[in-house]
Amino acid sequence: MTQEQKAETAREAFYARIDPQHMTPLWSVMSGLITPKPRSRAEAHIWHYGDVRPALMEAGELITAKEAERRVLILENPGLRGHSKITTSLYAGLQLVLPGEVAPCHRHSQSALRFVLEGSGAHTAVGGERTHMQPGDFVITPNWAWHDHGNETGAPMVWLDGLDIPLVQFLDASFAEMLGADEQPVSRPAGDAMARYGDGLLPVDFQSTSRTSPVFNYPYARSREALETMRRTDEWDACHGLKMRYVNPVDGDYAMPTMATFIQLLPKGFQTRGYRSSDATVFVCVEGSGSTTIGEVSFAWGKNDIFVAPSWHHLAHQASEDAVLFSYSDRVVQEKLGLWREDRGNN
Ligand code: 1HN
């Protein structure tokens, strides 16, 4: 036996001796723990709405919203199967509420966002107020807020759910309870939160008790209008086109404490410069069409397609028509912890 083999044999014996004490040597695992750059198990992937919609409608025939509590098909990252994750830290699912259905009232530690894909006029209730949702609306369910959904229209309603489930799970901080009634009592008129907090005004003595924006529906009509007005004068960002973040009007921070949300316009023919950031990002095509290269792969997308870019993968978009992308990521958390990084590809 060489000196090296002897040393290795002695080490292996040592590892075996300390194993019952629930100890393990750092030097055997260190390079996998402290990587020079993010090394995600998540993969780039796209879900074409036209391909997944039939399965969602089939689920509609197999189980009611009430039986399921929430009738959702989880979008699982191919590199993270079995973990109910679309990125390492975030969850995504497609939720269907059929005409006449109610998704019963509950609350939990996880924050949720809804991004409406199909249908018009079904509601979600938060804080005693119902908001009637339209395609492209970004709707917030703050953590620990009672919420129920109902569809009193004649057509199916479909939205993308984004939740911070894996993040909360990582921290072992999950609590949840049912209200015990299908619906929370309605105590405020529709539009109340928008009027109080979303019109550039705040009640004079308003003190926020939450880290989440008190505006819980950011209607697409308003966001789209902003992008359309800005395109006339704005300088386009080489990496993002025209990209805006949804904001909490109380403090100017992101609208939600654990998920950053964005909307961006890419004009027809625009090609973004290669970009990467440490926040894995979920994108939804709201309008138009184009394609995105993520690392080694390229996806063509159209209306309601959903695609995911893992952390630190090179990203470049190309719009074949005027296109609007909604996106969400854990950037808000990474920024707060001093971890967020980007590479705009210009150095
Ligand atoms: C939830 O409460 C909703 O309220 C959707 O619509 C998806 C996934 C896991 C846990 C709670 C909803 C969810 C969820």
Q: Which domain holds residue 143?
A: 45-343
| Region 184-211 average pLDDT | 97
For range 303-314, the mean pLDDT? 98
- Write the CA distances from 329 to 127, 154, 167, 323, 341, integer angstroms: 25, 33, 12, 20, 13
Residue 330 lies in a domain: yes
* Per-residue model confidence (pLDDT) at position 347: 54
Q: How confident is the model at residue 235 (pLDDT cuts 50, 70, 90)?
A: confident
pTM confidence score: 0.97
pLDDT (tens digit, 9 = 90+) per residue, 77-100?
A: 999 999 999 999 999 999 999 999
Asked if residue 20 is part of any domain, the answer here is no
DSSP-based helix, strand, coil % in the chain, nearest 5: 20, 30, 45
The pLDDT of residue 233 is 84
Q: What is the mean pLDDT of residues 303-312?
A: 98
Give the residue-averaged pLDDT of 208-225. Answer: 97
Q: What is the pLDDT of residues 311-329, one digit of tens each?
A: 999 999 999 999 999 999 9
From the CB of 148, is ligand 1 less than 6 Å away? no
CATH number reported for the structural domain that contains residue 161 in this entry:
2.60.120.10
Report yes or no: 84 and 148 within 8 Å, Cβ to Cβ.
no
**Cα–ligand 1 centroid distance for 94 (angstroms):** 10
Is 50 contained in some domain? yes
Ligand 1, pocket-test mutation among 106, 133, 163, most atoms within 8 A of CB: 163
Atom of ligand 1 nearest to the CA of 149: 6
Pocket residue to mutate for ligand 1, from 66, 69, 71, 72, most atoms within 8 A of Cβ:
72
Torsion of CA 241, 315, 30, 2, to 10 degrees: -150
pLDDT of 228 above 70: yes
DSSP class per residue in 227-275: HHHHTTTPPPBTTTBEEEE-B-TTTSSBSSSS-EEEEEEE-TT-BPPPB
Tell me, using a 6 A CB cutoff, whether residue 139 lines ligand 1: no
Task: Report how far ligand 1's centroid is from the alpha carbon of 200 (Å).
Answer: 30
- Give the mean pLDDT of the chain: 97
Indicate the pLDDT class of residue 28, thresholds 50, 70 and 90: very high
Is the residue at 38 inside a domain? no
β-bridge pairing 242-245 and 297-301: unpaired
SS3 (DSSP) at 170? helix
* Number of domains present in the structure of the chain: 1
pLDDT per residue as tens digits for the range 204-215: 999 999 999 999
pLDDT in tens, 29-80: 999 999 999 999 999 999 999 999 999 999 999 999 999 999 999 999 999 9
Whose CA is closest to atom 13 on ligand 1? 70
pLDDT band for position 149 (50/70/90)? very high
Query: Residue with the nearest Cα to atom 6 of ligand 1?
Result: 70
Note whether residue 328 is domain-resident: yes
In short, whether 169's Cβ falls inside 6 Å of ligand 1 is: no
Whether 5 is in a domain gets the answer no
pLDDT at 64: 97
How close is the Cα of 47 to the center of ligand 1, in Å?
Answer: 20
147 lines ligand 1 (CB under 6 A): yes
Within a domain: residue 150? yes
Look at residue 167 and tell me whether its pLDDT is greater than 60: yes
Q: Please enumerate in sequence order all residues whose Cβ is within 8 A of that of 107, keeping only pairs 6 or more positions apart, or say none.
A: 144, 145, 146, 147, 176, 177, 179
Flag whether 7 is in a domain: no
Cβ of 95 closer than 6 Å to ligand 1, yes or no, is yes
Protein residue with its CA nearest to atom 3 in ligand 1: 70
